[in-house]
Amino acid sequence: MDPLCVAVEVLRFKTKYMSNVLSWVRTEADMVQWAGHAFVWPMTQRQFRAHLRESKTRLPSLYPFALLNRGRAVGYCELSNHQRNSDAAMLSRVIVAPRHRGKGYGAFMIRGVLRFGFVDLGLNRVWLGVFDFNQAAIECYRRTGFVLEGTLRQSAKVGDSYWNCHLMSILRREWMNGRGVTPPQQQSG
């Protein structure tokens, strides 16, 4: 294994990474694309902290993760809406730092979070919503085993526009058949 790949890891999110993540969300459209309407623009650390409180309960429904490269946060995502009676959860709020996009970091992070969901939580199904214009994300989700289930037409309003949202999912058996964590490409210099 390339020694640089050892420096990339998926860990439980710590609030010390919060300012990094918020710096990647530059516009209201960025915020909605990343988090739906969970937050109000302009997004603040206070809103983010309040959201993360869900992960601190006795039976959390939220599991936030950070993707670190050499100790610096370069990605964030969550397993949310954990439905214990259905062994299901939602992969949500997936974001990679702009300078690290298109290099495999997102897929690496998602594979690590799926492992947590299927192995540690015992999930049977993980689903997500992605806006139909976000082709890079859709391709990333397909590469990590997600399949398209359908489309919620004009389900989000941003400014004067309505956005369509694709629903995608992966089942435990599908993950078991195709799992494997491929390290992202490392930048030189």
Which whole number is the average pLDDT over 128-152? 97
In-domain check, residue 61: yes
Work out the angle at residue 99's Cα, subtended by the Cα atoms of residues 163 and 75, and round it to the nearest 5 degrees: 70
Strand-pair partners of 126: 89, 170
User: For residue 52, what are the domain limits?
Assistant: 3-178
Summarize pLDDT for 85-134 with one digit per residue, the tens.
Answer: 999 999 999 999 999 999 999 999 999 999 999 999 999 999 999 999 99
Q: Find the CATH number of the domain harbouring 169.
A: 3.40.630.30
Inside any domain, residue 184 = no
Cis status, amide bond into 42, omega within 30 of 0: yes
Is pTM beyond 0.85? Reply is: yes
Q: How many domains does the chain have?
A: 1
Q: What is the DSSP letter of 104?
A: T
